[in-house]
Amino acid sequence: MTHTLAALLLGLCLLAGLVLVTLGLPGLWVMVAGVVGYGWLTDFRSVGVTTIALVLGLALVGEIVETWLGFRLARRYGGSSRAGWGALVGGIVGAVVGVPVPIIGSVIAGFIGSFAGAGLFEYSRSSATTAVRAGWGAVLGRAAAAAAKIALGIVIAVVGIFAALQG
């Protein structure tokens, strides 16, 4: 396989990954697969263990940050750890339910799911006012997590492009 074709496939994976991240889907992992695939297609001449470890680490940090921010902001806005769990479960369910709606369905449904999950889980323990505040915190956490994952995706893309340019 030519270097040009491998670089083109890497570019497509990186671009698709960034689009998926903005839609609330696992785009960072598509990007990691693109970098590893590029390395494999080019006999790992410019993508080595360090590059693979770096992009894997960045993707893992993205997942941890996403989970942590939902919990943290739901709690900061008055919710308990139940609200954090509700935000996590609701966000995942919402994103999955919203997938059939083209382009932004999973994004909007993920935000609604985070709000509803945090609110419902907190309402089972506390007042409606506290539940709404916790839900709002979960939405803010999801937005901050999306921004962080987009930033990490850009870093992964730069690392991938740099590796391709070295080859």
pLDDT along the chain (167 residues), means of 10: 86 95 88 96 91 96 87 86 90 86 83 94 91 93 92 97 87
Domain limits at 156?
3-166
Cα(99)–Cα(106) distance, rounded to whole angstroms? Answer: 5
Q: Cα–Cα distances in Å, from 66 out to 13, 131, 141?
A: 22, 21, 8
Q: What is residue 66's predicted lDDT score, i.e. its pLDDT?
A: 84
Q: What is residue 26's predicted lDDT score, i.e. its pLDDT?
A: 87
Q: What is residue 1's predicted lDDT score, i.e. its pLDDT?
A: 59
Give pLDDT tens digits for 77-122: 988 889 989 988 998 899 888 878 876 888 899 899 999 999 999 9
Model pTM above 0.95:
no
83's CB contacts (< 8 A; 6+ apart) are 74, 75, 118, 119, 121, 122, 131, 134, 135, 137, 138
Would you state the structure tokens that stand for residue 80, as one six-digit string?
């308990």
Residue among 167, 159, 165 at smallest CA distance from 51: 159
Q: How many domains does the chain have?
A: 1
Which residue carries 């308990």 as its tokens? Answer: 80
Q: What is residue 71's predicted lDDT score, i.e. its pLDDT?
A: 78
Q: What is residue 107's predicted lDDT score, i.e. its pLDDT?
A: 85
Please give the single-letter amino acid code of residue 41: L
